[in-house]
Structure 1
Amino acid sequence: MHTLEDDHHSIFRSFQTVVETMTTTGYGADAPWETPWMNALVVGMQLSGIAIGFFTLRVLIIPLFKRTPVSLADRLTPKDDHVVICEYRQDSELLLDELERLGIDYVLIDSDEDEAKRLSDAGYQAIVGDPEDAETLREASIEDATLAITDAGDRNASVVLNAHALNEDLRVVSLTESSRRNRALERIGVDRVVSPHVLIGRRLAHKATPGAEVPSGTSVGEEVEVGEFLVRRESPLHGVEVRETPFFERPRITLVAGWIDGELRLPPAPTDRLTPNAVLVVAGPPEVIDEARDAVSVPGVLTARDPSEVIVAGTGEGGRAAIDALPDDAAVTAIDVEEREEVDVVGDVGDPETLEAAGIEDATALIVAVDDDATALLAIALARSLAEDVEILARVTEDGQVRTAFEAGADYALSIQRATARLLARDVHGEETVSPVGQVRLVRTDGDPFAGRTLEDANAGGETDLDRDADWVVVGVERDGAFRTDASTEIEADDVVVIAGTDESVGELERTVAT
Structure 2
Amino acid sequence: MERRVRRRIAVFVAVLPVAVLLFALVYMVGMDHLEGRPRTFGQAVVWASETLTSTGYGGDSRWSHPLMIAYVALVQFVGITLLFVSFPLYVIPYIEERFEGRLPRTVPRKLRDYVLVYRWGPEVEGLHAALVRADVPCVVFEEDESTARRLADRGLTVVFGDVEDDDVPDEVVRRARAMVLNGSDADNGAFVWSARNAGFDGDIHAFMAEPRHRGPMLRAGATSVYTPQHVLAAALAAAASERISPRISGVRRLGGGLEVQELRIDAQSPLAGRSLSDARIRERTGATVIALWREGRFDPCPRPDARLSPGTIILVLGTPDAIERLSETARPLRRTGPIFVLGHGEVGRKVVELLADADESVCVVDRRPDAGADVVADALDADALERAGIADARAVVLCLESDATTAFAAAMVRDLAPDAAIVARVDRPANVVRVHRAGADFAVSIGQVAGEILVQHLLGDQAAAHEQRVRIVERPGRPLAGRTPAELRLRETCRTNLVAIRRAGRVVTDVDPNAPIEPDDVLVLAATSEGLRAFDARYGSDAGSGRPA
TM-score between both structures, scaled by the size of structure 1: 0.59
- Deviation of 1:232 (Å): 4.9
Question: Which of the numbers 331, 335, 343 marks the counterpart of 1:314?
Answer: 343
Deviations 1:328-373 (A, max 9, x none): 3311011122234642112210111332243201111100011211
Question: Which of the numbers 258, 272, 277 marks the counterpart of 2:292?
Answer: 258
* Superposition pairs of residues 326-475 of structure 1, within 5 angstroms: 326=355, 328-340=358-370, 342-430=372-460, 432-433=462-463, 458=493
Aligned to 2:235: 203
- Deviation of 1:152 (Å): 0.9
- Deviation of 1:99 (Å): 1.6
Aligned to 2:262: 231
Deviations 1:252-272 (A, max 9, x none): xxx4x4226978766153998
Q: Which structure would you say has the larger Rg?
A: 2
Aligned to 2:353: 324
For 2:295 and 2:164, the matched residues in 1 are separated by 48
CA change 1:296–1:187 in 2 (3 A) is farther
CA contact (8 A) 2:303 2:491 kept: no
Secondary structure class of the residue paired with 1:156: helix
Secondary structure class of the residue paired with 1:334: strand
For 1:457 and 1:404, the matched residues in 2 are separated by 29
For 2:307 and 2:202, the matched residues in 1 are separated by 49
Unaligned 5+ segments in structure 1 are 1-58, 219-227, 250-254, 282-291, 441-452, 461-473, 492-515
Percent identity, aligned pairs only, is: 26
Aligned to 2:168: 136
For 2:246 and 2:410, the matched residues in 1 are separated by 26
Deviations 1:163-197 (A, max 9, x none): 22223523111123343433443343322223332
CA change 1:395–1:352 in 2 (3 A) is same
Aligned to 1:192: 224
Aligned to 1:148: 179
Aligned to 2:75: none
CA contact (8 A) 1:211 1:302 kept: no
- Deviation of 1:381 (Å): 1.8
- Deviation of 1:213 (Å): 3.8
For 2:321 and 2:120, the matched residues in 1 are separated by 44
CA change 1:435–1:153 in 2 (3 A) is farther
For 1:259 and 1:359, the matched residues in 2 are separated by 27
CA contact (8 A) 1:209 1:303 kept: no
CA contact (8 A) 1:72 1:120 kept: no
- Deviation of 1:413 (Å): 1.0
CA contact (8 A) 1:86 1:131 kept: no
Secondary structure class of the residue paired with 2:460: coil
- Deviation of 1:394 (Å): 0.5
- Deviation of 1:490 (Å): 6.6
For 2:201 and 2:373, the matched residues in 1 are separated by 45
- Deviation of 1:150 (Å): 0.7
- Deviation of 1:128 (Å): 0.4
* Superposition pairs of residues 112-191 of structure 1, within 5 angstroms: 112-140=144-172, 142-154=173-185, 155-167=187-199, 169-191=201-223
TM-score between both structures, scaled by the size of structure 2: 0.56
For 1:334 and 1:296, the matched residues in 2 are separated by 36
User: Over aligned residues, Cα RMSD in angstroms?
Assistant: 4.8
For 2:103 and 2:428, the matched residues in 1 are separated by 31
Name whichever structure is richer in helix by fraction: 2
CA contact (8 A) 1:202 1:325 kept: yes
For 1:114 and 1:261, the matched residues in 2 are separated by 32
Match status 1:280 vs 2:315: yes
Aligned to 2:502: none
Instruction: Name which of structure 1's ranges 267-276 and 427-436 shifts more when overlaid on structure 2.
Output: 267-276
- Deviation of 1:386 (Å): 1.5
Deviations 1:47-91 (A, max 9, x none): xxxxxxxxxxxx99x959835873614662434433221112227
CA contact (8 A) 1:423 1:437 kept: no
CA contact (8 A) 2:118 2:182 kept: yes
CA contact (8 A) 1:131 1:137 kept: no
For 2:351 and 2:96, the matched residues in 1 are separated by 54
Match of 1:349, as an amino acid? Answer: A
* Superposition pairs of residues 14-29 of structure 1, within 5 angstroms: none
Secondary structure class of the residue paired with 1:177: coil
CA contact (8 A) 1:394 1:410 kept: yes
Secondary structure class of the residue paired with 1:103: coil
CA contact (8 A) 1:211 1:229 kept: no
CA contact (8 A) 2:105 2:161 kept: no
Question: Which of the numbers 266, 282, 286 marks the counterpart of 1:243?
Answer: 282
Match of 1:166, as an amino acid? Answer: A
CA contact (8 A) 2:394 2:421 kept: yes
CA contact (8 A) 1:231 1:277 kept: no
Unaligned 5+ segments in structure 2 are 1-90, 250-258, 265-269, 272-278, 471-487, 496-525, 542-549
- Deviation of 1:210 (Å): 3.6
